[in-house]
Structure 1
Amino acid sequence: MLFYKRKKIRFKKLKCVLLAVVLIIVSCIVFCEQQLAEFKCEYIRIQAEIISVNSVCEAVNNSLKKFNYQYDDIAEIKSSKDGTVQAITTNSFKINELKADIMLSVQQEIAKIYDVEIDIPLGAFTDVTVLSNYGPPINVSFNLTGSFSSEIISTFESAGINQTIHHIRLILTSKIMTTSLDYSGNMTFSTDFEIAQNIIVGVTPQYCGNWYKTA
């Protein structure tokens, strides 16, 4: 009789241990799901921004290398006999050609990465820095698409007595949409690329055309 009572007590203890283990496993799963839901959206947003910026920069740099324009190819300085800068004229055809190629390159580059898959280590969901790069990978997929606009601007920077650096820059504004099964977000960022520059010796004009901006 005593043997059966002890066996019954052990069985109850075993049930309690198993129940506790099950509760711990379920709690861990619920915790991970909550962490995943909160963390995944932010992780996707950050990764989408990194991928988008890298793709845009690569596309623009490829176009700039392809054309390899120097300052004299797209701008001409006209000076008077005493060295005063009278006007700065630009080659509109070459500028528009460069802009068109850049826009096409950026669109094509983003189209290549429309479908994105990334692996997030399970440890990243624990909020523990030491564990952030450890654990089995969790695959997350999302889509990228975007629209782009560009503007050529010109700025003048003082470089000493009677010397001015003329910068010709491209400002590319990207509007990126990111979507996944349970996330949707938009981001807008601008990137600044130097197309050409030149040191002008002499007094520069106050106004140099409608696409020039003096800084």
Structure 2
Amino acid sequence: MRKPRYRRTVFRLRGWTKLLLFLSILFLILIEIDMQLRPVITTMAEYQCRVISILAMNEAVMDELEEDPDIDERLVRVVTREDGSVVSVDIDSVEMNRLQARLTDAVTNRLLGIQKQDIGIPLGTLTGWQLLAGRGPNIHLQILPTSFVESDIQDSLETAGINQTQHRIFIDFKVEMSAILPGYSTSVTVENKICVAQTLIVGEVPQFYASS
């Protein structure tokens, strides 16, 4: 009577051993698949964040500048002598700081308004094989961009022709974007330099800038 019980016990142990072995192999396969897919998904998410942030920055700045078409005249004043020669370029620092704060707020609000983004990645692309890139049904993922905005003012003088100089004022935006994906997240830094004012100076290049 003891023999059948012994055989049943051995059979159960073998069954549990096979199940554990199967689960271990399955777990290793899933880890390997995740290691293969994660770089592709991360790259796609980072690219999407760059596109989203640059479009948002450009649109926010253009909207603000369209509402204030006379900003060039308030920001920059070209000081000349009686003979018309250029002495200096006078930049209104108070107006410049005000514009910088306004544009930074506009970019921040535009980015905060971004909803979840759906991205479709072809199954062949996820495999990492070049022959299958772009093929197969799309695997859809959702990313939720979060952002942090910094800005800095820059200006430049560039030759624009014979006896002509182009003075430009830029705001250099730096945006930290994080894409929150199912199970993990990735971050990317996006920089975008946008010209907010430009003045054509006819005459010799001024020797210095002045701020008021």
Give the TM-score category using the shorter length.
0.7 to 0.9
TM-superposed CA distance for 1:77, in Å, is 0.9
TM-superposed CA distance for 1:187, in Å, is 2.0
Which shows bigger deviation, 158-167 or 147-156?
A: 158-167
Q: 1:210 to 1:93 in 2, by over 3 A?
A: closer
Partner residue in 2 for 1:195: 196
Task: For 1:172-187, list aligned pairs within 5 A.
Answer: 172-187=173-188
TM-score with structure 1 setting the length: 0.71
Partner residue in 1 for 2:88: 87
Q: Which amino acid aligns with 1:37?
A: R
Q: Which amino acid aligns with 1:109?
A: R
| Structure 1 outlier segments of 4+, above 4 Å | 28-34, 128-131
2:186 and 2:211 map into 1 onto residues whose CA distance is 36
TM-superposed CA distance for 1:93, in Å, is 4.3
TM-superposed CA distance for 1:130, in Å, is 6.2
Q: 1:209 to 1:178 in 2, by over 3 A?
A: farther
8 Å CA contact retained: 2:111, 2:147: yes
Q: 1:113 to 1:160 in 2, by over 3 A?
A: closer
1:37 and 1:152 map into 2 onto residues whose CA distance is 37
Q: Which amino acid aligns with 2:103?
A: I
8 Å CA contact retained: 2:61, 2:106: yes
Unmatched segments (≥5 aa) in structure 2: 1-28
SS of the aligned residue for 1:208 comes to strand
Which shows bigger deviation, 129-138 or 41-50?
A: 129-138
Task: For 1:2-17, list aligned pairs within 5 A.
Answer: none
Query: Any idea what the Cα deviations from partners look like across 1:120-154, whole Å, max 9, x if unmatched?
Result: 22222234556434433222122222221222222
1:102 and 1:70 map into 2 onto residues whose CA distance is 13
Q: Which amino acid aligns with 1:99?
A: Q
2:41 and 2:114 map into 1 onto residues whose CA distance is 19
8 Å CA contact retained: 2:93, 2:211: no
8 Å CA contact retained: 1:69, 1:195: no
1:30 and 1:187 map into 2 onto residues whose CA distance is 25
Partner residue in 2 for 1:98: 99
SS of the aligned residue for 1:209 comes to strand
Unmatched segments (≥5 aa) in structure 1: 1-27
1:77 and 1:48 map into 2 onto residues whose CA distance is 40
Q: Which amino acid aligns with 2:88?
A: A
Partner residue in 1 for 2:55: 54
Q: Which amino acid aligns with 1:80?
A: R
Partner residue in 2 for 1:64: 65
Aligned length: 186
1:38 and 1:160 map into 2 onto residues whose CA distance is 48
TM-superposed CA distance for 1:170, in Å, is 1.7
TM-superposed CA distance for 1:86, in Å, is 2.1
